[in-house]
């Protein structure tokens, strides 16, 4: 689904209008998933100076075949709480408008393109996002001297994960460079899933990451603010 938006070229400042996606259905249009992964979705070329740039805007990623809905709400960390409130208000209105016989869809919330891509790969791999963030939380808290959440992000790496281990990469937030790799035993992950499936444990995980924004790093930053 596209709409026309007024935008300004960051290179020359020229005003223009561009058609940008508000939502993509990657089951119907798999090339849009490819464009997202290649960093070309909602890319614009200025007709005045020829400069090509990407416009980061709110986007609903929908994969009906896998039952995935992820809402990307770009914003600074200082605005996360406001954005979460706005998201919840919109979702509540959507759910209220559904007929009684329809179950409300689960819509994941992310605040950056990196988080969006990570969540897509994570869910496509059939992994539990709360357990993955719990693992990140353990990695942070056991290595706070080297993994300061103010300066470092831990990202799930689907490409290098395998049957033996889940892989994570460390990203320096200032330079955006990847600095190292962490592994977590796949059997240990499955053990956590089984443990949290028990009734008395499930509430603990949901209490830690109630949503709608599920992030170990954000949780740690909130605890120290």
Question: What's the pTM?
Answer: 0.90
Nearest to 183 by CA among 154, 217, 208: 154
pLDDT value at position 90?
83
Q: String of b and e for 23-58 (b: at least 16 CB within 10 Å)? A: ebbbeeeeebbebbeeeebbebebeeeeeeeeeeee
13 and 40 fall within a common domain: yes
pLDDT value at position 148?
94
Who contacts 8 (Cβ-Cβ below 8 Å, separation ≥6)? 14, 15, 16
- Residues 5-23 have pLDDT tens digits of 999 999 999 999 999 999 9
Element of type H or E holding 17:
strand 15-21
60 and 150 fall within a common domain: no
142 and 225 fall within a common domain: yes
Count of beta carbons in the 10 Å neighbourhood of residue 97: 8
Look up residue 76 and give its two tokens: 């600074």
97 and 47 fall within a common domain: yes
Residue 188 lies in domain: 128-225
pLDDT value at position 76?
82
Domain count of the fold of the chain: 2
- Residues 152-198 have pLDDT tens digits of 999 999 999 999 999 999 999 999 899 999 999 999 999 999 888 77
Among 98, 124, 150, the domain-final residue is: 124
The segments of the chain whose pLDDT lies below 50 read none
39 and 133 fall within a common domain: no
**Ramachandran quadrant class, 126 (left: phi over 0; alpha: psi -120 to 50; beta: rest):** left
Among 99, 124, 149, the domain-final residue is: 124
Four-CA torsion 204, 205, 208, 211, nearest 10 degrees: -130
């Amino acid at each position: 689904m596209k709409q026309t938006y007024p935008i300004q070229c960051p290179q020359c400042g020229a005003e223009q209008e561009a058609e940008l996606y508000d939502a993509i259905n990657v089951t119907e249009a798999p090339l849009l998933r490819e464009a997202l992964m290649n960093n070309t979705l909602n890319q614009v070329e200025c007709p005045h100076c020829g400069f090509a740039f990407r416009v980061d805007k709110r986007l609903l990623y929908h994969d009906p075949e896998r039952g995935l809905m992820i809402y990307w709400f770009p914003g600074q960390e200082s605005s996360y709480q406001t954005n979460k409130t706005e998201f919840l208000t919109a979702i509540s209105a959507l759910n209220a408008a559904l007929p009684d016989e329809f179950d409300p869809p689960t819509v994941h919330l992310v605040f950056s393109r990196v988080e969006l891509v990570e969540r897509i790969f994570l869910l496509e791999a059939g992994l539990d996002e709360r357990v993955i963030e719990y693992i990140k939380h353990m990695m942070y808290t056991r290595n706070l001297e080297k993994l300061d959440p103010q300066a470092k992000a831990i990202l799930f790496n689907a490409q290098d994960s395998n049957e033996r281990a889940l892989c994570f990469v460390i990203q320096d937030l200032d330079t955006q460079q990847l600095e190292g790799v962490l592994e977590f035993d796949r059997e240990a992950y499955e053990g956590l899933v089984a443990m949290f499936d028990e009734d008395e444990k499930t509430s603990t995980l949901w209490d830690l990451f109630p949503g709608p924004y599920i992030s170990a790093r954000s949780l740690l930053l909130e605890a120290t603010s």
